[in-house]
């Protein structure tokens, strides 16, 4: 995969209009470059925004065609947990963190009477369950993950860390230990919206969660071999 140009898309959160525009920009950019490319969805496709179901449909189609890869974010994890569990607290926690909007997006298409589970497409659930939490291009030194890594333990971090971490020890590369597993590593992630709606870049990590569901743009990092990162926004 080392010769690919990657387009790593930050947290979509149901913003289907922004996603459709960004996918158009990505495909135009890839045609201009005339280079092999791969889109990477960095997780949190669902919740908060107006049409999570449509976003999942787009991502499923792009992965099925081979154009894209996707990883699981903490909001997909919340959705799956709420679907699987009978205790009310898990359902309420998901609903209060954007799950209500996700349920409505599915109900508009599928309807339901008594249980929100009836509205959610089983094919979507099956796809979400199968998503990895990390994609690692070792030849390029790129790690795609939703939340981040534990620099002390990588590559043996827990799934919880990969999906949920906001640890200062990860955010500040100056605190990363000197370990051969980290040599030349760049972590591409989302999960933590940037305060100014701009992507954050330093030599060890790139954060492309630019708050699409909070009024910011939806952003993709363009990672071409041998070039500095650049960004597309919708």
- pLDDT of 1 > 70? The answer is no
Number of domains comprising the chain: 1
What CATH number does residue 64 fall under? 3.60.21.10
Structure tokens at 37: 């490319």
Structure tokens at 179: 């370990």
- Look up the pTM and report it: 0.96
Residue 4 DSSP symbol = P
**Containing structural domain, residue 29:** 5-233
CA distances (Å), origin 116, targets 10, 60, 103, 125, 131: 27, 21, 7, 13, 22
Find the range with the poorest average confidence among 60-64, 110-114, 128-132, 142-146: 110-114
Note the pLDDT of residue 182: 97
- pLDDT of 86 > 70? The answer is no
Residue 155 DSSP symbol = T
Per residue in 122-169, pLDDT (tens digit) is 999 999 999 999 999 999 999 999 999 999 999 999 999 999 999 999
Note the pLDDT of residue 112: 87
- pLDDT of 88 > 80? The answer is no
pLDDT-based confidence at residue 114 (cuts at 50, 70, 90): confident
CA distances (Å), origin 146, targets 34, 87, 160, 189, 209: 28, 27, 10, 5, 10
Instruction: Round to whole Å and give the CA distance between 32 and 151.
Output: 37
Note the pLDDT of residue 139: 94
């Amino acid at each position: 995969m080392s010769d690919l140009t990657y387009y790593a898309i930050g947290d979509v959160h149901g913003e289907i209009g922004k996603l459709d525009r960004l996918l158009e920009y990505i495909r135009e950019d890839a045609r201009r470059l005339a280079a092999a490319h791969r889109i990477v969805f960095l997780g949190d496709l669902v919740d908060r925004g107006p049409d999570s179901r449509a976003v999942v449909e787009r991502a499923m189609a792009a992965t099925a065609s081979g154009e894209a890869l996707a990883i699981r974010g903490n909001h997909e994890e919340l959705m799956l947990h709420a679907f699987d569990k009978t205790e009310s607290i898990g359902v309420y926690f998901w609903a209060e963190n954007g799950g209500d909007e996700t349920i409505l997006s599915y109900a508009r298409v599928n309807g339901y009477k008594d249980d929100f589970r009836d509205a959610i497409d089983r094919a979507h659930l099956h796809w979400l369950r199968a998503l990895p939490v990390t994609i690692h291009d070792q030849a390029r030194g790129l790690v795609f993950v939703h939340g981040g890594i534990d620099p002390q333990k990588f590559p043996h971090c827990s799934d919880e860390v990969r999906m949920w971490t906001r640890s200062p020890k990860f955010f500040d590369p100056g605190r990363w230990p000197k370990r051969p597993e980290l040599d030349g590593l760049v972590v591409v992630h989302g999960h933590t919206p940037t305060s100014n709606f701009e992507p954050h870049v330093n030599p060890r990590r790139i954060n492309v969660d630019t708050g699409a569901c909070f009024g910011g743009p939806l952003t993709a990092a363009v990672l071409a071999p041998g070039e500095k990162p650049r960004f597309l926004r919708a």
